[in-house]
Every structure is written in C-alpha cells, then in structure tokens.
C-alpha cells in the first residue's frame, strides 16, 4: 500500500492579503489538492498568488461526505491543504472534524500558522489578555443562547465571541441582560482599510447600534466578572445565616467543631478567632 499523505491546516489572511506567510504559499503550491470552506473566496486568494491547484469545497453542510472523500485521498497518499473562509482553519469552522477524522485514520496533521481573528481582536481590545476564553459563535436558538451566556456569568477571564453584523444588536442585548453593564471591545474589519475597535460598555454599545446598522464581521471581547464581585457575593450569601448556624451546618456535615470554625472563617473572610469567640461565648 502507498504511503499516506499529510493534512496541512493552512491559515490564510482575515482581510489583508499581505498577512499570508511564505510557508502558507509554498504549501498551497506543493499539495495535491486544496479543500476550502468557501471556494469563491479561496479562488481570489489563489489567483492573487498565482497558485493553480485543484479546489474542493469542504464546509458545514457537506463535511461528512467530503470529509470521507478527503480521508480516502489522504490514505491513498495525496497531500491535502485545508483552508477556511478566512483565518485559521479549525476555529469555528468544520476543520476540527477533518482533523479528528485524520487522527482516527493515523494520518499526519500539521498546521501552517497565521492569522486568527479572535487573537487579533483580543490583543487590541485593551481588556486583560493574560487569561481568556474563546466562545466562538453563540447558539442561534434563543433559549440555548441565553443558557450559554448564563453559563459565562461568573467567568473571570476575558470572553471572546464571533458575531455576524445582522445578529450583533440582539447579541449585545442578550449579553447586557445576563451579564450586566460590562466593558466590551467590538473589533471589526480587522487588518482591512476600515479596521475599527469600539471600546465601551454594553449599554453604550446597544445605544450605538440602535441608531446605526453594524457593518462587517465582528470579534467581541467582553470583560470577565471581577474576582472581587464574586467574593463579595459569596460573603453576602453568608450574611443570611448566623455564625452559629454556619458552624452547625458544617458540623452536621461531619466536620469537627475546629474544622467547621476554620471553614466558616474562610467563607466569610474573617479570622478564626472571631468565629471562635462568637460561637463559644453564646
Ligand atoms: N477560522 C477563522 C479564524 O478563527 O480566524 C474564523 C472563521 S469564522 C467562520 C468567521 C468569523 O471570524 C466572522 O464571523 C467574524 O466573527 C470573525 N472574523 C473573520 N475575519 C474578521 C475580520 N477581518 N474582522 C473581524 N472579525 C473577523
């Protein structure tokens, strides 16, 4: 049997064609076949760099059938490049399914790194970049969207979303309703002539897009909840029961009195001595 081919995930520009790498161009020239999320978009890119290659479409609605075909080709020894509409394949596109299939079939997978819209937006958002979480597109279904946002209510890391312009306004409203008036950075047309980042809070963002229609694709960065707010809420929770009730709660759960006092002090952010004095005196 012939040797298996290799699957190359090739990052392409998210707007500015100068953002392609030398290695990406060489790889696209050398592979046997290119699978593309949007062939019309990729044709423009290939024409620009004078790359003549067989193109095959691979996107959400044909990924099962085409995925199996591509794996067949790889098993027969063909080298294949996968490109997304823009940016890094495998992030918020069906690339991840092809990677999984390739790995299951013991096919080598590699990536030619380059632009990622999420990271490009995050870096210039002005929000903390040390810890972040990528959420991609929110679910379309109204209830599922609300539930997803609710699951992020206590997220302390910066949260990144992708969003299309026609859904932006509703997304901003849902975010505001569930998360409150957080800071947001809305990055659009990244790397293009009209690149813009609007940094404001969610209520101002809603007001802005209540008056004008958004244009271009967006990356949204929303600030995480502050650790202080979580701590304050935790502490407030304990205000509803007395120190004795709090200690008894842990004793009833099987802790010794000493352990319970220590835990109560931690929960409330007060000293063990204060808990001890109050519980023992009463
Ligand atoms: N895999 C690509 C990546 O991560 O770079 C993204 C693919 S996803 C289908 C497309 C989304 O990426 C868009 O809806 C938008 O949210 C974001 N995006 C892509 N290019 C962008 C740009 N130039 N400016 C802002 N957002 C962009």
Q: What is the pLDDT of residues 95-131, one digit of tens each?
A: 999 999 999 999 999 999 999 999 999 999 999 999 9
Share of the chain above pLDDT 90, in %: 82
Tokens of 56: 């095959």
- The answer, yes or no, to whether any atom of ligand 1 lies below 6 A from the CB of 14, is yes
Residue 27: is its pLDDT beyond 60?
A: yes
- Is the pLDDT at 249 greater than 70, yes or no? yes
pLDDT at residue 161 tops 90: yes
**Cα(216) to centroid of ligand 1, in Å?**
10
Q: What is the pLDDT of residue 95?
A: 94
Q: What spacing in Å lies between the alpha carbon of 217 and ligand 1's midpoint? A: 7
Distance 125 CA to ligand 1 centre (A): 15
| Alpha-helix runs per DSSP H in 31-81 | 39-48, 63-75
The arithmetic mean of pLDDT across residues 79-84, rounded, is 97
Average the pLDDT over 17-28 and give the result.
97
Mutate to test the pocket of ligand 1, among 9, 11, 14 (most ligand atoms within 8 A of CB): 14
* Any ligand 1 atom below 6 A from CB of 96: no
Fold of 6-115: Cobalt-precorrin-4 Transmethylase; domain 1 (3.40.1010)
Domain spans, the chain? 6-115, 118-225, 228-279
Domain 118-225 has CATH 3.30.950.10: yes
Q: Which atom of ligand 1 is closest in space to residue 118's alpha carbon?
A: 4
Handedness of CA 63, 69, 73, 74 (dihedral sign): positive
Residue in 219, 220, 221, 222 to alter for ligand 1 test, most ligand atoms within 8 A of Cβ: 219
- Cα dihedral sign, 76-77-83-88: positive
Task: Tell me: pLDDT of 236 over 80.
Answer: no
The answer to whether 6-115 and 118-225 have equal CATH topology is: no
Separation CA 220–CA 173 (nearest Å) = 13
Nearest to 88 by CA among 77, 99, 78, 79: 99
Q: Which atom of ligand 1 is nearest to the CA of 87?
A: 5
Given a cut of 90, is residue 237 above it in pLDDT? Answer: no
Question: Residue holding tokens 């990677």?
Answer: 99
pLDDT of the residue at 2: 62
**What's the token pair of residue 174?**
């849902």
**In this model, does residue 30 exceed pLDDT 90?**
yes
In the predicted structure, residue 200 carries a pLDDT above the cut 70: yes
Question: For residue 278, what pLDDT is reported?
Answer: 84
pLDDT at residue 167 is higher than 80: yes
């Amino acid at each position: 049997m012939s040797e298996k081919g290799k699957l190359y995930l090739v990052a392409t520009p998210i707007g500015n064609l100068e953002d392609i790498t030398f290695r990406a161009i060489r790889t696209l020239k050398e592979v046997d076949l290119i699978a593309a999320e949007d062939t019309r978009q990729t044709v423009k890119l290939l024409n620009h760099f004078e790359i003549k290659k067989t193109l095959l479409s691979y996107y959400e609605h044909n990924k099962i059938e085409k995925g199996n075909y591509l794996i067949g080709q790889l098993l027969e020894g063909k080298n294949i490049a996968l490109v997304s509409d823009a940016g890094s394949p495998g992030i918020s596109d069906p690339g991840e399914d092809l990677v999984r299939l390739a790995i299951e079939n013991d096919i080598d997978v590699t990536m030619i790194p380059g632009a990622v819209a999420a990271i490009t937006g995050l870096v210039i958002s002005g929000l903390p970049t040390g810890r972040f979480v990528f959420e991609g597109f929110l679910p379309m279904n109204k209830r599922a969207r609300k539930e997803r946002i609710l699951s992020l209510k206590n997220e302390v890391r910066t949260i990144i979303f992708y969003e299309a312009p026609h859904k932006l306004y509703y997304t901003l409203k849902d975010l505001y309703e569930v998360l409150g008036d957080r800071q947001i950075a809305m990055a659009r047309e990244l790397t293009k002539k009209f690149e813009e980042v609007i940094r404001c809070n969610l209520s101002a963002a809603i007001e802005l897009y209540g008056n004008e229609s958004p244009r271009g694709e967006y990356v949204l960065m929303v600030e995480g909840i502050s650790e202080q707010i979580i701590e304050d809420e935790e502490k407030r929770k304990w205000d509803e029961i007395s120190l004795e009730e709090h200690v008894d709660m842990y004793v009833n759960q099987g802790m010794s009195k000493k352990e319970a006092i220590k835990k109560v002090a931690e929960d409330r952010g007060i000293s063990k001595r204060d808990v001890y004095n109050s519980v023992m005196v009463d």
